[in-house]
Structure 1
Amino acid sequence: MPLARHIPALLILGVVWGLTPSIVKAAMAGGFAPLGFAFWGAFGSALILSVLCAKRRLAIPLDRPHLVQYAASGFSGFALANFAGYTALQHIPAGFFALLVPLSPILTVLGAAALGMDRLTPARITGTLLGFLGVALAMAPGAALPDAGLLGWALLAAITPVGFAISNIVASRLAPRGTDALVLATGALYAAAFFIAIFGVLMGQVHWPGAIGWRVEWLIPFQAALTAFAYLLYFRLIAATGSVITSQTGYIVTIAGVLWGAALFGERMGWLALPAALLVFAGLWLVTSRR
């Protein structure tokens, strides 16, 4: 069974991505501008993967199909998603953000069905409704969102799984056949850094290394290394299993994100967070399971 064979990689990817909201939250608290931190995370990880490409003597193609894939994946799955997520994480708990992640595979299946890449069944429709109901419950008082006044920031954060879903479909549909996953990841991250740099200049969120002190700046290489590793693993899973199985990391990201938030920031969720998470997981299972 394809999923069983790739469970270790899915677990590792989920734990790494589950840590990301806490790293971002720490960076924002330390004085980073959201787009400034996002740019160096993307550019730094692209440089790391470029070194790996050079060692393996892999060229990064710059023909039109590859550039389209780089741009679409980098913009949706990194630039757009991280702009929304990094900005919102200045205000919302990392654990709540982690509860939004399973919307990505749910939206992935819906998007794939709309494009004729997959089939929409009654079970998947039910799962979609359960997933959105779970997220709505997580935003209620006494759940994962501590204050109703943060609802606007929560809705902004919800753009992140939309970007991830678009990236899942793009990676599966547009990736040129035969291109190494390492090359695809590298190109997408350079494209992401390009778009974020433009947004950062326009919004006045350019960050120069050393501007806020190295007690916080060490998060840049740390995040870059994690992003490089996660993106490489993500593209390898996409190539090996497709977007639906890769989307199963949503379970692990949510659990890991809640645990990281509790361990690093002492976040505690209300009693409604558990039924909210169960609804989201039930929806995710119905949407992505197959007969």
Structure 2
Amino acid sequence: MTSTTLEQRPAPVLPYLVTIGLLVGGNFALAKLVVLGGLSPIDLFAWQVLGSGLILTACLVFRRRTDLKILTSRSVATYCAVNGLIGVTFPQILSYYALTEVPAGLFAMLIPLSPLLTFCFSCLAHRKILPLRRLLGILIGLAGVTVATADKVTGADISLVLIAAAFLVPVLLAITNVYRERAMPAGANPLVLAAGTLLSQATVFLPLIVLNSSGVGSVPPLDSTGLPVLVLCAVTALSYVITFELYRRTDGVGFSQVGYFATLAGIAAGTVFFAEPVTPWFAASVILLFVGMAVSDGHLRLRHLLSGRLPAKRRNSATKGELT
């Protein structure tokens, strides 16, 4: 299916990127709170995808029941299953496996490689080199995230297998970014795609709970742990709906930069809720991230960045605003 270029989609994407990043960053803090409460990470994720999928399915029932027929159509069901496997389930399993020995700081530095890999895979998929300003913007954003996470890397004796597993996570996320753009069913409702993706992965993870030795004990208790799980499901549902809405407005390369915002939001959430240390360079990381987005989207060109001047169109509009 043909994808629409960014130039044909004038709607702004930055608010969506920032919103998804904040939601995902908040999810990091909620998930850590639940795991500290005693629920295993893999059980938590199983309930997370199931709960959020059921929330969205309920929304479809109350909104328009014909959407349920679309949800079960062959093209949409296949798209959701493939998208969920390579973009949700496989990265999640690899993350759990890699984090048994790979330092969290090193893993946090590998994940932001996804935008750069997405750019490369998109060039291969389109059989042409995408505008180099987009690559420059991605590299500026990557530099910003690296500044924020570099101090979190600690030395450790890690096997090559685990390092490979950790590196496969951003590779799979990049492949997913390109697949979502290229294979998205025409005119599909983001709510339908989000519900289908989450429910398809719930069918993968739920058997793991049944086979888990914890058995019935893996069900979140209705206490201080149960409430964060419910909130986590609601936030996940919302983030996936916004994700597929964003894919209607930009391509895989544009969407991939949400990982930068999610990483910084996760660091900020850790500082606010768990008093985790943050370096003075964090503010510089945020600035670099927004500069990178402006360069990637064409709102700020390199010559303007180096000269410190506004683009001509913006400079004229700013002057006009001052005169009025």
Partner of 1:248: 257
Given candidates 94, 112, 116, the residue that maps to 1:84 is: 94
In 2: Cα distance, 1:51 partner to 1:107 partner: 36
Q: TM-score, normalised by structure 1?
A: 0.78
8 Å Cα contact 1:103-1:132 kept in structure 2: yes
8 Å CA contact retained: 1:79, 1:193: no
Q: Which residue of the other structure, out of 71, 76, 85, is the alignment partner of 1:61? A: 71
Contact 1:94 1:258 in 2 (8 A): no
- State the shift of 1:134 in Å: 8.0
Partner of 1:104: 114
SS, match of residue 115 in structure 1: helix
Q: Which runs of 5+ in 2 are unaligned?
A: 1-6, 302-324
Structure-to-structure mapping, 1:1-291, within 5 angstroms? 5-57=12-64, 58-59=67-68, 60-85=70-95, 99-116=109-126, 119-120=129-130, 143-145=151-153, 147-149=154-156, 156-200=165-209, 208=217, 210=219, 214-269=223-278, 281=289, 288-289=296-297
2 CA distance for matches of 1:172 and 1:61? 18
Aligned counterparts of 1:72 and 1:95: Cα–Cα separation in 2? 29
Equivalent-residue separation in structure 2 for 1:35 and 1:86 (angstroms): 8
Letter aligned with residue 105 of structure 1: P
Deviation string 1:82-141 (CA, Å, 9 cap, x unpaired) is 33345666888877765554322222222212222662566677777888888888886x
What's the offset of the Cα at 1:215? 2.0
In structure 1, distance between residues paired with 2:74 and 2:112 = 32
Contact kept? 1:77, 1:167, Cα under 8 Å: yes
User: What percent identity do the matched residue pairs reach?
Assistant: 29
Cα distance change, pair 125–105 in 1 and its aligned pair in 2 (3 A): closer
Q: TM-score, normalised by structure 2?
A: 0.71
Checking the alignment, whether the CA contact within 8 Å between 2:17 and 2:258 is kept in structure 1 is yes
Between structure 1 and structure 2, the one with the greater Rg is 2
RMSD: 4.0
- The answer to whether the Cα contact below 8 Å between 2:105 and 2:149 also exists between their aligned partners in 1 is no
